[in-house]
Structures are given as C-alpha cells and as structure tokens.
Amino acid sequence: MPRLSLYRPNRTADYQFIDRTIREMYTVGGADMYVHKYLGPQTGGTSNDATLPAYSQENPLFIEDLLLLENRDRVYDPNIYIMRGVYFTQDVDFDLTQFGLFLNNDTLFITFHYNDMIDTFGRKLMSGDVLEIPNLKDYNPLNESLPKALPKYYVIQDAAFAKEGFSVTWLPHLWRIKATPMVNAQEYQSITQQPFEPDNIWDPGNFYPGGVTVLDGNTYYVSKGNVPPGTPITDTNYWTEKTNPSTVQDKMSSRPKDLEINDAILVQSEVEVPRSGFNTGKFFILPTAPNGQPATAIGLTADQTLPTVDGTQPGEGISPTGFGYTVGYLTGSYDENGILQAPNGLPVTPGVTFPPTPVVGDYALRLDYFPNRLFRYNGSTWVKIEDGVRTNLTNGIENNTLRSGFVNNTYTTQTKDLGAIPQRQSLSKALQPLADNGDQGGNLPPNPPPNTQPGQPSS
C-alpha cells in the first residue's frame, strides 16, 4: 500500500479542483484592476556609451541605464488588461514602531489568482507595471471643473507568491504584489500624458448641447452650440477640434500647483533679496584721510549735491574710498536698473572710457569691464573701488555672471575646416579620442560672442 501524502510534485486533478475553486472565489469577490503592462525601455537610436545600450526590441528584462540601474524612458502597452484582485482596505494609521510618526495608508498589498493572471496578462505582474483601481476613483474632487472622476494609479514595487495562496498540495495559487501611488515622473509619461477628457464617443445620431466634448477616433471635438442629430463631426459650424486636450498629469499631478508656489516664492524673494551679497547703500560712509583716519566733518555735508574740498589736506573729506572701512566682497549699492552706484549716492560718470578732466574724488563706472568696475580718482590714479558682482539670484538671462555665462554659453567659434564649432563642450566629449578630421560638433549656425566694448573684437 503506497504511503498517504497530500503533496504532489505535479499539478494533478486535486490541484486543478482547488485552483478552479479559488478562481471562482476571486471572480465573485474580487475587484476589477486595470493593468498597464510594462513592455521595457524605449527602442531605437544609437549610443556610443556602453552603459546606455540601444535596444532594437522591447523587453521588460532590459535595463536602460546600466550604470545607475534605471529605466527612465519606459514603454507601456496601450491596451488595458482587466483582472480581479483582492486587497484589504485600511484607514489612516500611525506607525509608532520607529522613531517619529509615519503614516501607513499609501501602500496596498493585492493578491491575484495566479493562473488567471497568466491567461489574461501573459506573464506575471512585476515591478514597473501600473495598476488603475476603479473603486478608488475620486468622484467628488475639490476642483469641480474636472470633466470626470480622478483615477487612482499605483505602481508595483515588488511581487511574489502569497503565503495564503498555498493549498494542501503545497502548490501556489495566488500572486501577491506590493503597490505604491504613482507619481508624475519621467518613467510614467506614456500614462500621464494620455488625454484626460470625458469618455463621450461621438454618435452621429445623438443630439449634443453646446460645450460638449466628444471623441472621434483619436481627436476630440467641442460643440459650438446645439448640434442637431445627423450633423457630421467635420461640420465646422457646429464642431471645433480641441487642439490641446488636457492630460492626466495636468489634472492629477501637484506639479502645476508646485510651480505656482515656487514662482510666488521667487517673486517675493526678488523683492526682499534682489541681489546677492550685502546692500551697503543705506549706510553713510564717512570719507577718510590719506592716513586712513576719518576725515573732518567740514569737508562734505549730507545736503550738498556735489562734494567739496576744504583745501587743508589733500584728499581729505572729498569722497569715500570704498563702501566701508574694511574691504568686503559682494557689497555695494545698485539702482533699479542694476547699475553700480557710488558710496553715499555721490555722482558717478558711466562709460567705456575715463572722464578726460577728472578732479580728486570723482567716480567713474567702466561699463566695458565685465563685471562693471567702479573707480575713484585720487589725483594721479584711477583706483578700483568695487566690482559689480552682486547679481540677481534667480537663474535666467538676468543672472549675468561669469559662471552663468560659462554654463549657458551658446556661442560658436568659426574655424576654416570645421565650420562653426560650439564653445561649450562637455568633458565626456573632450576626453574622447577623435580622428584628426572629426567634425567636433561643427557645421553649426554661426553665433559669435558679442564685442567686449565698441570698436574692439570679441574676446
């Protein structure tokens, strides 16, 4: 008599019976799950980097970036697979098992019938697949202008056989996945860039009131007014094509609101801290004598428009020799146009040359220097006072510094054999060995840098 054993190495009739029973239980008691199938990294293109291979076919096992181990540009199946899954709903709960407070309400553990998953999906659910859970839709969003309910997307982070899915035959029947909410990231652009419009398929036999959006093929149309039944969708008297339909990321992502908040912070920061460094223009700087001591008060008064000299000591009481009694970096006073001013708001002569007949204490701002440089005449020499290095803190074309000019350099250099080559080249390209007749990225449209000052060639 053979020994009794519930374990079977093969899928016998007992396994098939239990599996059909479990499948029926999931069909009756499970919830629909819409699955966006991950196909693999984007294909096509060429690459000279061994860590960034170019693939000719889609495969979920391929890795786009072998150095960082990332799949940033993912491709998802345009077809949506419907499967039944079971998960436990949960309330907002605080996790007190670690230091601090943590919320455990954003991770779902969902189980699927294994064989039903293979039959429907073609493979096992894996990391990277995206689930859309219909029963978690937000039908009453705070933004009442949304055309339809907000869907809820989750990304699978891990998958394995469920411990409760092993039957008495010691064979598994359930597949368990761990999913977290999907974010508006580069990896999921093929999903987040899908149109977020009402699911109204155009029917030529229907009556449509004004302002209704319908879908015909892959194009959305909006009715201009009441549309009689039988009106073709191409009739421009009643229908207009919607050229820029809203997308999922426009309605679900926090990115537009984050950008709005960031822009408001930048606007206020530019008001409170318009420039880098320290604004010393609000301080009155007492002129100093040639020995470095404060000059007498009879030399210059606050209500005078031009400086005066008492004549008792050369250079005494004429004008300050700096923006403070100690040399400081990123100091000075600027007007509303970003032009460097003289200490105490004294007159300054801007230009590309020095004034021809200066007197002791005069200021000159050389605009042909980059950055602009403020000089003071001491009777025999134009002495540097300050460089206009206090710039706008916000990135952009207004942030005119040597560093930003170097990083954002779009100029080209004209050569005889390679045409116009870019001045800015990455180190990765500069260190690569190239043939003597390599193009060096040449044959670009000429874009020479501007002249350093009128009448002089570019530096």
- For residue 455, pLDDT over 50 is answered with no
Rounded-to-10 torsion of CA 431, 437, 438, 441: 110
Q: Where are the beta strands (DSSP E) in 218-329?
A: 219-223, 239-241, 278-279
Alpha-carbon separation of residue 39 from 79, 374, 387 (angstroms)? 11, 62, 57
Domain ranges of the chain: 13-192, 276-391, 409-459
pTM of the predicted protein model? 0.66
128 strand-pairing partners: none
CA–CA dist 222, 233 (Å, integer): 10
The fraction of the chain above a pLDDT of 70, given in percent, is: 82
Q: Which of 3.30.70.980, 2.40.10.370, 3.40.50.300, 3.50.50.60 would CATH assign to domain 13-192?
A: 2.40.10.370
**Quick one: average pLDDT of 193-201?**
85
pLDDT at 305: 45
Q: For tokens 């010691």, what's the residue?
A: 170
Q: What is the DSSP string of 423-454?
A: S---HHHHTS---TT--TT--BPP-PPPPSST
Write the DSSP symbol of residue 368: T
Q: What digits encode the pLDDT tens for the residues 324-356?
A: 766 677 788 888 777 888 888 889 999 999 999
CA–CA dist 128, 125 (Å, integer): 9
First to last CA, the chain: 99
Q: Which amino acid is at 161?
A: F
Q: What digits encode the pLDDT tens for the residues 247-263?
A: 888 888 888 888 899 99
Q: Which amino acid is at 19?
A: D
CA–CA dist 284, 320 (Å, integer): 9
Q: For tokens 């659910």, what's the residue?
A: 125
Q: What digits encode the pLDDT tens for the residues 130-148?
A: 999 999 999 988 888 888 8
207 vs 440 pLDDT, higher one = 207
CA–CA dist 107, 178 (Å, integer): 7
Kind plus residue range of the DSSP H or E element containing 258? helix 255-272
CA–CA dist 41, 70 (Å, integer): 10
Q: What digits encode the pLDDT tens for the residues 277-314?
A: 888 878 888 787 766 667 654 444 444 444 444 444 44
Q: Enter the tokens of residue 220.
A: 């959305």
Q: Enter the tokens of residue 280.
A: 């010393």
433 vs 32 pLDDT, higher one = 32
Alpha-carbon separation of residue 238 from 218, 245, 401 (angstroms)? 19, 18, 55
CA–CA dist 433, 109 (Å, integer): 52
Per-residue pLDDT band for 199 (boundaries 50, 70, 90) equals: confident
Q: What is the CA radius of gyration of the chain?
A: 36
CA–CA dist 85, 116 (Å, integer): 10
- For residue 402, pLDDT over 80 is answered with no
Q: What is the DSSP string of 335-358?
A: -TTS-EE-GGG---EEESS--SS-
CA atoms within 13 A on the CB side of 303: 0
CA–CA dist 220, 213 (Å, integer): 7
- Are 131 and 35 in contact by the 8 Å Cβ rule? The answer is yes
Lowest-pLDDT choice from 241-250, 257-266, 445-454: 445-454
Q: Enter the tokens of residue 393.
A: 């803190």
